[in-house]
Amino acid sequence: MSSGDGRTGSVPDAASVANLTDRSGRFGLRLAMWYTALFIGSAFAVVLITYLLTSSSLAQRDHEIIQSKLGEYATVYAQGGLRALAATVDAEQRTSRERVFVRVLDGGSEAVLLSNAEGWDPSALEVGTTALLDGAIIQVGKSTEARSDILRRFRASLGLITLSIILIALTGGWVLTQSAIQPIRRLSSAVRHIIATGRTDERVSPGADDDAINELTLLFNAMLDRIEGLVQGMRGALDNVSHDLRTPLTRLRGNSELALAAEPDLERYREALADSIEETDRVLVMLNALMDISEAESGVMPLKREPFDLNEAADRAIELYREVADTKELVLKSGVRRPAPVLADRVRIEQAAANLIDNAVKYTPAGGSVVVDVETLDGRAILRVRDTGQGIAASELPRIWERLFRGDRSRTTRGLGLGLSLVKAIIEAHGGSVNADSEPGKGSVFTLSLPQQA
Ligand code: ADP
């Protein structure tokens, strides 16, 4: 938890927020341009491929017609000679829609038959040639004019197609990018509003589509939930700490004031200063404990989770209190022990176990015993501290986990009333739970339960 200056430093000024608006506009424009360029590029590729395919299939068709004619004429020539060929060509020329040019050359390259002599222009014709058995050559030509005409019209309409493609691309690009950046706009407007007002209870309503933007919106809302929870936790923690520290600080001030108001007396001053030091120490210990509790309760306590066995934590905590227990003539020992692996912050769990043993030793008179069990039950790792001490009155039992609560019979014993609150906060921060059973005059049983490591 830090003071207010951290917050001021992280709030952007109005100019940088305005810049963000510009950027989202520019992003839309860039997206539209990319979309348009891509659309135009691919449409052009499609048109070009269509043009090339049409042109080559028209050429192929002409070639096939010429080859079939050549075959046909060669057969007629072989069977009936030049006269029969001339008659066939003549008859075909009258009925056929397509004009075909036919030329027969004798061995000396003299044209002996020529149909459509006036149109015989090899540069405007697709010509096929085949040699006949008697050494003559037959040539069939087909005008490329019709084919060129189709392709010319195709090219002429390209201008119109280009214009339509650009128009469709621009409109489509604009409409699509607008609808694509709409949810982003809503997100950034919510963020801007939160920055401007400092309110974290604002949420962005998600769209109907199950897409990436919607996922981002849901994640953003979940992040706001988390931030809001943390901010509230921090606020509550700050309120609690300031409230809880007020009493000891007022007492500290009162002691000093009393000493100053009385007649000057060195001994009295000494006593007042010693009291102040003691009280200040108490306040410092209290402050640390309160901060730990608040951190754990609000979910910001850093937990260094590692795999270990609860038995290790129990043994270390027992060792810590061995001497105190001996001095108090108490038996402090291990009871039921079974492996209980957990994935947790070793130091914090040891601290929780130590707090329970500290209480058990504190509230058990000489001659009594404190036993620490470790086992697993239904997938939970259990650490139990049993004592034969004074016990807790049924009316007090529900309140012992509260911050600063101290039992009536415990007031004379040292303590701040924060030990059990810290235990509860630490264990719950690990996803565990705590429980206490007690019979006044007979003893108490405190149980910590943590998820067992699989
Ligand atoms: P503190 O021990 O400083 O008073 P805790 O939060 O540790 O504060 O405990 C709260 C209260 O719960 C104690 O004041 C005491 O009344 C009661 N308590 C806790 N542990 C035991 C115990 N083992 N036996 C009897 N009473 C206990």
For residue 391, the ligand 1 atom closest to its alpha carbon is 25
Provide the pLDDT for residue 1.
32
Residue 77 pLDDT exceeds 90: no
Assess if residue 201 is contained within a domain: no
Question: For residue 233, what are the CA distances in angstroms to 132, 200, 219, 225, 230?
Answer: 103, 13, 21, 12, 5
Co-location of 340 and 413 in the same domain: yes
CATH code, domain carrying 170: 3.30.450
Judge whether 193 lies within some domain: no
Which residue of 285, 321, 361, 363 sits with most ligand 1 atoms within 8 Å of its CB, as the best mutation to test the pocket?
Answer: 363
Ligand 1: does its nearest atom lie under 6 Å from the Cβ of 406?
A: yes
Query: What residues are paired with 433 via a beta bridge?
Result: 449
Instruction: Report percent pLDDT > 90 for the chain.
Output: 39
Residues 362 and 418 placed together within one structural domain of the fold: yes
Lowest mean pLDDT among 145-149, 179-183, 220-224, 285-289: 179-183
Q: Kindly state whether residue 206 falls inside one of the protein's structural domains.
A: no
> Is 192 contained in some domain?
no
Q: Is the pLDDT of residue 88 over 60?
A: yes
For ligand 1, atom 7: residue with the closest CA:
419
Residues 161, 131 within the same domain: yes
2 — pLDDT class (breaks 50, 70, 90): very low
Share of the chain above pLDDT 70, in %: 91
Contact in structure between 105 and 139 (CB atoms under 8 Å): yes
Cβ partners under 8 Å of residue 11, min gap 6: 195, 198
pLDDT band at 118 (very low <50, low <70, confident <90, very high): low
- Residue 117 pLDDT greater than 70, yes or no: no
* 8 A C-beta contact, residue 32 and residue 177: yes
Measure 199 CA to ligand 1 centroid, in angstroms.
40
Residue 232: CATH number of its domain: 1.10.287.130
Helix axes 212-261, 266-298, angle to 10 degrees: 170
By the 10 Å C-beta count (0-12 exposed, 13-18 middle, 19+ buried), 406 is classed as: middle
Do 123 and 241 sit in the same domain of this protein? no
d(CA 105, CA 137): 5
Q: Are 127 and 141 in contact (CB under 8 A)?
A: yes
Residues 218, 323 within the same domain: no
Could you give the CA distance from residue 53 to residue 152 in angstroms, rounded to a whole number? Answer: 15
- Residues 346 and 321 occupy one common structural domain: yes
Q: Are residues 263 and 385 in the same domain?
A: no
User: In the predicted model, is pLDDT for residue 7 greater than 50?
Assistant: no
Say if residue 440 is in the same domain as residue 336. yes
pLDDT single digits (tens) 186-235: 878 877 887 888 777 888 777 777 777 788 888 888 988 888 888 887 78
Ligand 1 neighbour 389 (Cβ under 6 A): yes
Q: Under a CB-based contact definition with an 8 Å cutoff, are residues 82 and 112 in contact? A: yes
Q: Where does the pLDDT of residue 23 fall: very low under 50, low under 70, confident under 90, or very high at 90 and above?
A: low
Domain's final residue, options 154, 178, 202: 178
Q: Is 132 left (phi over 0), alpha (psi -120 to 50) or beta?
A: beta
Average pLDDT over residues 118-129: 74
Which pTM does this prediction carry?
Answer: 0.60
| 35 and 173 within one domain | yes
Pocket test for ligand 1, best of 282, 395, 420 (most atoms within 8 A of CB): 420
pLDDT at position 6 is 36
- Find out whether 104 and 85 touch, Cβ atoms under 8 Å: yes
Q: CA 447, CA 442: separation in Å to the nearest integer?
A: 17
Q: Is the CB of 368 under 6 A from ligand 1?
A: no
Shared-domain flag, residues 339 and 372: yes
> Lowest-pLDDT range, 25-29, 148-152, 416-420?
25-29
Mean pLDDT to the nearest integer, 351-355: 97
pLDDT digits (tens, 9 = 90+) for 164-178: 888 888 888 888 888
Write the DSSP assignment of 351-403 as a string of letters: HHHHHHHHHHHHTS-TT-EEEEEEEEETTEEEEEEEE-SS---TTTGGGTTST
**43-47 long-range contacts, Cβ below 8 Å, gap at least 24?**
43/165, 43/169, 44/162, 44/165, 47/158, 47/161
Higher pLDDT, 331 or 78: 331
The verdict on 313 and 253 lying in the same domain is: no
Helix 212-261 and helix 145-197: axis angle, to 10°?
20
pLDDT score of 47: 85
User: Is it the case that residue 335 has pLDDT exceeding 90?
Assistant: yes
Mean per-residue pLDDT, 117-130: 74
Domain end position, chosen among 157, 178, 199: 178
Last residue of a domain, one of 238, 264, 298: 298
Q: Which has more confidence, 16 or 194?
A: 194
C-alpha dihedral, 228 to 233 to 237 to 239, nearest 10°? 50
The amino acid present at 374, given as its one-letter code, is: V
Contacts of 308 (CB under 8 A, 6+ apart): 341, 342, 344, 346
Q: Is 392 in the pocket of ligand 1 (CB under 6 A)?
A: yes
In a domain, 1, yes or no: no
Note whether residue 191 is domain-resident.
no
360 lines ligand 1 (CB under 6 A): yes
pLDDT 10s digits, 275-285 = 999 989 989 99
Contact between 369 and 425 under an 8 Å Cβ cutoff? The reply is no
Residue 207 has which token pair?
A: 């769209």
Cα 83 to Cα 110, 200, 268, 351: the distances in Å are 16, 102, 151, 120
Domain that holds residue 391: 305-451
pLDDT level of residue 21 (50, 70, 90 thresholds) = low
Whether ligand 1 lies within 6 angstroms of the CB of 359 is answered as yes
Q: Residue 120: what pLDDT?
A: 62
Tokens describing residue 425: 């906060």
pLDDT at residue 19, as a whole number: 56
Average pLDDT over residues 88-100: 79
- Number of domains into which the chain is organized: 3
Pick from 361, 400, 411 the residue to mutate for probing ligand 1's pocket: most ligand atoms within 8 Å of its CB: 400
- Token look-up 């001095």 returns 327
* pLDDT mean over 414-432: 94
Query: Higher pLDDT residue, 52 or 199?
Result: 52
Q: Return the pLDDT at 15.
A: 53
DSSP string, 242-277: HHHHHHHHHHHHHHHHHHHHSPP-HHHHHHHHHHHH
Nearest to 324, CA basis, from 352, 356, 358: 358
The answer to whether residue 313 is domain-embedded is yes
pLDDT attached to residue 405: 92
187 within some domain: no
- Please give the pLDDT value at position 116: 66
| CA gap 365, 409 in Å, rounded | 13
Q: If pLDDT is split at 50, 70 and 90, which confidence band does 110 have?
A: low
Task: Give the domain CATH number at 311.
Answer: 3.30.565.10
Burial class for 15, CB neighbours closer than 10 Å (0-12, 13-18, 19+): exposed
Same domain? For 378 and 243 the reply is: no
